[in-house]
């Protein structure tokens, strides 16, 4: 069987007896198809010429990113809590070295993913750690390319996870696009792990919001206001974005609100 991983978005499709023709994630207007045509690799291919770089972001939070950069290039974040560790977002590569490092840090109690572009090889990650639950918002169920019994679809606007963590549905980028609130982050001042539901931009005093980042399709003002309201009731001083180095180290709650205000002014003219 062929377990194809799209080289553009990093999503692993369901096993097939033949190489897939198209990637539904990349065919959709929020993404794009490789300029040279649809291309696939397997997990074995990735393990030959890529490795995961793992390092502490702050006490209780560990970053995992793949080098050389693969597909979208996002990082995963391992949140360590006394009630078990949660992997926030996911990367396509999982190998023995990565698994052993995560086990030394306490293993995994679950996986939570912000939106379909980062589903990647989530089923292989879950299986590596004994079939831990994968928490996905049910609004994005149509974008799951490899179904599995480990996937737990949640509904509504919030879901409380072990260790006091909370998933918040914000919408915008995808209908079920979510962020993760970690009250113990930033030395107890609280942190928000946002993927690119709220994208930390190169000027790390701000975030932004988009329907499509690669194709530069903006969101409307009402949706951006709704995203800002969704996180306003939670205490956080720091934001960890989707990519290495994209961190608002302090004052993050105020940064979200002023970023939303700036965005609304821009789209409303």
Q: How far is CA 56 from CA 96, 200, 254, in A?
A: 19, 19, 25
Q: How many distinct structural domains can be found in the chain? A: 1
Token pair of 230 as six digits: 């969704």
- Taking the C-alpha atoms of residue 1 and residue 210, their distance in angstroms, rounded to an integer, is 37
CATH, residue 14: 3.60.15.10
Give pLDDT, residue 1. Answer: 84
Phi-psi region of 118 (alpha: psi -120 to 50; beta: other; left: phi over 0): alpha
CB 215 within 8 A of CB 117: no
Residue 209: domain span: 5-268
- Taking the C-alpha atoms of residue 154 and residue 138, their distance in angstroms, rounded to an integer, is 6
CA 199 vs. chain centroid, Å, equals: 11
One digit per residue, the tens of pLDDT, for the chain of length 269 reads 889 999 999 999 999 888 888 999 999 999 999 999 999 999 999 999 999 999 999 999 999 999 999 999 999 999 999 999 999 999 999 999 999 999 999 999 999 999 999 999 999 999 999 999 999 999 999 999 999 999 999 999 999 999 999 999 999 999 999 999 999 999 999 999 999 999 999 999 999 999 999 999 999 999 999 999 999 999 999 999 999 999 999 999 999 999 999 999 999 98
> What is the torsional sign of CA 40, 44, 48, 52?
positive
CA 269 vs. chain centroid, Å, equals: 31
Reduce the DSSP state of residue 102 to 3 states and report it. helix
- Tell me the whole-structure pTM to 2 decimals: 0.97
The residues that bridge with 137 in the sheet, in sequence order, are 154
Query: Any idea which residue has 């009250």 for tokens?
Result: 183
Half-sphere exposure (Cβ direction) of 44: Cα atoms closer than 13 Å = 3
Reduce the DSSP state of residue 171 to 3 states and report it. coil
Give pLDDT, residue 60. Answer: 98
- Residues across the chain: 269
> What is the torsional sign of CA 137, 140, 144, 147?
positive
Reduce the DSSP state of residue 205 to 3 states and report it. coil
Give pLDDT, residue 259. Answer: 98
């Amino acid at each position: 069987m062929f377990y194809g991983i799209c080289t553009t978005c990093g999503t692993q499709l369901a096993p097939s007896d033949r190489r897939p023709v198209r990637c539904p994630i990349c065919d959709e207007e929020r993404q794009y198809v490789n300029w040279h045509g649809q291309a696939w690799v397997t997990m074995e291919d990735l393990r030959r010429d890529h490795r995961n770089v793992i390092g502490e972001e702050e006490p209780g939070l560990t970053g995992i990113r793949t080098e050389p950069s693969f597909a979208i290039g996002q990082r995963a974040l391992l949140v360590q809590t006394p009630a078990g560790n949660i992997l926030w977002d996911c990367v396509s590569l999982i190998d023995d070295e990565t698994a052993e490092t995560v086990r030394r840090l306490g293993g995994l109690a679950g996986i939570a993913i912000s939106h379909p572009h980062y589903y990647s090889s989530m089923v292989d990650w879950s299986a590596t750690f004994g079939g831990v639950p994968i928490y996905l918002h049910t609004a994005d169920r149509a974008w799951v390319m490899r179904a599995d019994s480990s996937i737990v679809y949640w509904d509504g606007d919030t879901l409380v996870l072990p260790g006091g963590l909370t998933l918040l549905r914000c919408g915008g980028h995808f209908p079920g696009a979510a962020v993760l609130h970690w009250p113990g982050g930033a030395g107890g001042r609280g942190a928000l792990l946002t993927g690119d539901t709220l994208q930390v931009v190169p000027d790390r005093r701000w975030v932004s919001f988009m329907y499509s980042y690669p194709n530069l399709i903006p969101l409307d003002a009402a949706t951006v206001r709704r995203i800002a309201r969704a996180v306003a009731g939670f205490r956080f001083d720091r934001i960890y974005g989707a990519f290495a180095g994209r961190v608002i180290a302090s004052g993050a709650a105020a940064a979200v609100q002023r970023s939303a205000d700036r965005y609304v002014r821009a789209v409303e003219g």
